[in-house]
Amino acid sequence: MTESSLTQDIATGSPVRLQAVTAEGQPEVTPELEELYRGFEQELLVPLWTEIGDLMPAHPRSRAVPHLWRWERLRELAARAGGIVPVGRGGERRAIALANPSLGGRPFATPTLWAAIQYLMPGEDAPEHRHTQHAFRFVVEGSGVWTVVDGDPVPMNRGDFLPQAGWNWHAHHNATAEPMAWIDALDIPFQYVTEAQFFEFGRDEISDAERITPERSRSERLWGHPGLRPLSAPPATPGSPLLSYKWQYTDAALAEQLLLEKEGFGGTIEPGHAAVRYSNPHDGSDVLPTIRAEFHRISRGAETAPVRETGSSVYQVFDGSGVVTVGDTSWTVTRGDLFVVPSWEPFSVKSEAGDSDSDSGALDLFRFSDAPVFEALKLDRTQKDG
């Protein structure tokens, strides 16, 4: 219902509309029942017996649907926007959001997750701001942009995962002669529906001292040592203090899992399926309070068992090719493609990757989800089919 129609309904009576129907489990349709329903409408009341099938279904029925966005097309349109759309105040970012086709045109990939391709032209800056929405950047290709988080320049290169908890100042600058694209993800829909969001503009330009291009950020130098926690660390704050998770470590961890499996020592979550979760080095929790990030590697020819989970996910193909099945929908996917797995839809994937289309010879998938929210509320549930 639109805001105008809602206003009209209130002016003329009530936005509540009840219809007496002849159906199993419903009261007999009589003049008395009709009169009762008109009384409910007048007082803005809705009886549970008319709504229980919608409010309390037997299993989750997501408003989102499975959908695939092709990376080549996204990148092409983002490049065209680069020549037309400025980055300055107003738009703030040249970010183009994925809109799930069943969410009414809203720029939401799922009911809780926002994802976009962001594009920065050579020499451009994206101005500073901060927001309560938790965010990250993931780089499927390219290099040359630094994101500056609270004054700390963080390099962005292929395969790097860069989380950033809410309410931290951040800007971006492209220090090269080439444009660069990456994906942004935030919990915008979740904070939108819970009416919890805040936003604040920062400086139009970062300082010369921040416009540097170190190979490692200060956060990496302090926190980026596997298994080692600095004793100088301040008390934990929401989100990971490590602002960049380098691809070289992710790649090595996945490769070792598959090698251990081949040697007969396990290490994978199912045959041919290696996976890691990005974690907070402070305490081992998720990198962000509302978003979980993982990386999956499926060996050529391996097929994952169908799995259902409460909560939604977005995947990006980092490398390789394969066939992805979400519910009743299947796609052949290649590098950069993004797709949505709605809540409780069965998901499986078969790897068709090889040396010709994958550096690892496997299908590599980056995944992020709203799992921390569901776990915090004790609403998480997983079911493996078959």
The position carrying tokens 């409910």 is: 40
Please compute the mean of the pLDDT values over residues 115-126 and round it to a whole number.
96
Rounded Cα distance, 341 and 380, in Å: 15
Res 88: pLDDT: 80
Element at 328 (helix H, strand E): none
Rounded Cα distance, 155 and 176, in Å: 12
Q: How confident is the model at residue 5 (pLDDT cuts 50, 70, 90)?
A: very low
Res 8: pLDDT: 45
Q: Which residues contact 114 (CB under 8 A, 6 or more apart)?
A: 97, 98, 107, 108, 133, 184, 185, 186, 187, 188, 189
Rounded Cα distance, 280 and 223, in Å: 10
CB distance 311 to 377 below 8 Å: no
Rounded Cα distance, 97 and 370, in Å: 17
Rounded Cα distance, 336 and 182, in Å: 10
Ranges of beta strands (E only) in 180-328 are: 180-186, 199-201, 273-277, 292-299, 307-309, 313-319, 322-326
Q: Whole-model pTM?
A: 0.93
How far the first Cα of the chain sits from its last, in Å, is 41
Element at 31 (helix H, strand E): helix 31-42
Rounded Cα distance, 307 and 165, in Å: 29
At position 4, the amino acid (one-letter code) is S
DSSP secondary structure string for all residues of 159-188:
T-EEEE-TT--EEEEE-SSS-EEEEEEE-H
Res 92: pLDDT: 82
pLDDT for 205 beyond 50: yes
Q: How confident is the model at residue 236 (pLDDT cuts 50, 70, 90)?
A: confident
Mean residue pLDDT across the chain = 94
Q: How confident is the model at residue 233 (pLDDT cuts 50, 70, 90)?
A: confident
Res 176: pLDDT: 95
